[in-house]
Structure 1
Amino acid sequence: MTGLRLVIFDVDGTLIDSQNLIVAAMTDTFGAVGRPVPPRAEVLQIVVLSLELAMARLAPDLDAAGIDALVAAYRAAFLRLRSQTGGEAASPLYPGARAAIEALHARPEVLLGVATGKARRGLDHAFAAHGLDRFFVTRQTADTHPSKPHPAMIEAALAETGVEPPRAVMVGDTSYDIAMARAAGVAAIGVSWGYHAAEALLAAGAAQVIDGFGALEAAIDTIWGQR
């Protein structure tokens, strides 16, 4: 068994606070096609899903062509709003995120990865805006995998790094993140500042829910000590 360990992060709602940009883009999208705008809380519940699945949840009466039109409109609205507000200003890192990433990256046995509902283009833009490129050795995105909670993203991250499931941890803010991890045989830590309540994360199987990045290393070490 390899001596390496792997910490996999979700992005939106876990590392990056993108909710205002996402809600604004959804508002523009539904307005552009003449449909009622979904409530903010409903939008935030589906953030982690692939765009196609998210739109199907928000507009269940539409056929495939209608969903495709929503997806295209959202992508255009998101890019326009992001360019207007600026990369880092549009979606800032949550407090303590950078320090936690740097601390884990400094541990020679720990590799870092992401499993996100973003497309690769969006992830690359976010990482460039925040200077995060050098930290993450495996990056799994929605345009090359089934939507969460399917375990494909985590399975690919494990395969790329050679790390076995007991030596990996997933960190996420939604029940989809937690369910994905559990389906891949990986322990999961929930964060309370994202899109799903702590109760939902625990019900999905999170080993622990933390209230700040300052508690992350200890939570990870507790899980690995138990395994």
Structure 2
Amino acid sequence: MTLRLALFDCDGTLVDGQAGVVGAMEAAFAGAGLPLPQRHLIRRAVGLSLPQAIRLLAPELPEDVRQELDRSYRDAFRAARESGQLVEPLYDGMAELVATLSQGGWLLGVATGKSRRGLDHCLAVHGLAAHFCTLQTADNHPSKPHPSMVDAALAESGADHAATVMIGDTQYDMAMAVNAGVRAIGVDWGYHTAQELREAGAEAVARDPAHLMELLS
């Protein structure tokens, strides 16, 4: 029997994590006395690992300042999580989709720019952790679109390239899938446009979770 693996991005695909990301990034820049990046630019950087996101938002800053922003962001995000102020709501229909795929014999995984601590918290809050057999995070891999997360998920799950699909909301997810040699399906409820997803390699873009289920069937 062929093992089928569906890899999900987290922020912008499973959950709407923009509020936490934007809040922590603004706190980091404000704490350093720097002008705040535009919020739509912060949202567009979601999906990249944190150092790459900061570099995209502030390419002119020296490396030591970017490293301080990295630390401040992590501190702000952790403080929000520990105080109960972090809100990362599931997109409507995603819990049902994950359960249906799991019950239907799919292996499920996550490939995300989040830290492992952040991902574990997110999945636990929503009661989804038991559905996923492989979790790949920014702690152990280069940033998307490098294929390392997908390669590790394939090795850990035992699935092969032809039976694996990467599902995400950004061009970084789609490019990672292309670089890894697996299928790429975009979702249009996240942070990049459907056109951008297709241009980055998406074979299709789901309008909603029901449509995504059709594309996976």
Asked if TM exceeds 0.5, the reply is yes
RMSD: 1.1
**Does residue 9 of structure 1 match 2:5?**
no
Q: Secondary structure at the match of 2:139?
A: helix
1:21 Cα offset (Å)? 1.5
Name the residue aligned to 2:93. 96
Alpha-carbon distance in 1 for matches of 2:56, 2:2: 41
- Give 2:129's match in structure 1, choosing from 127, 133, 138: 133
Q: Secondary structure at the match of 2:199?
A: helix
**Does residue 189 of structure 1 match 2:189?**
no
Per-residue Cα deviation, 1:24-75 (whole angstroms, up to 9, x for no partner): 1111111110000000111011110111111111111222211110000001
Sequence identity of aligned pairs in percent?
48
Name the residue aligned to 2:39. 40
Name the residue aligned to 1:57. 56
Name the residue aligned to 1:225. none
Which aligned segments of 4 or more residues in structure 1 are displaced greater than 2 angstroms? Answer: 81-87
Gaps of 5+ in 2: none
1:218 Cα offset (Å)? 1.2
Alpha-carbon distance in 2 for matches of 1:123, 1:50: 13
Name the residue aligned to 2:163. 167
Query: What is the letter of the counterpart of residue 190 of structure 1?
Result: G
Alpha-carbon distance in 2 for matches of 1:211, 1:37: 32
Alpha-carbon distance in 1 for matches of 2:155, 2:83: 39
1:122 Cα offset (Å)? 0.7
Q: Report the TM-score, using the length of structure 1 for normalisation.
A: 0.93
Alpha-carbon distance in 2 for matches of 1:37, 1:96: 34
Gaps of 5+ in 1: 222-227
Alpha-carbon distance in 2 for matches of 1:218, 1:36: 44
Name the residue aligned to 1:77. 76
Name the residue aligned to 2:199. 203
1:124 Cα offset (Å)? 0.8
Q: Report the TM-score, using the length of structure 2 for normalisation.
A: 0.97
Query: What is the letter of the counterpart of residue 141 of structure 2?
Result: H
Q: Secondary structure at the match of 1:72?
A: helix
Name the residue aligned to 2:140. 144
1:168 Cα offset (Å)? 0.6
Alpha-carbon distance in 1 for matches of 2:27, 2:21: 10
Alpha-carbon distance in 1 for matches of 2:52, 2:2: 37
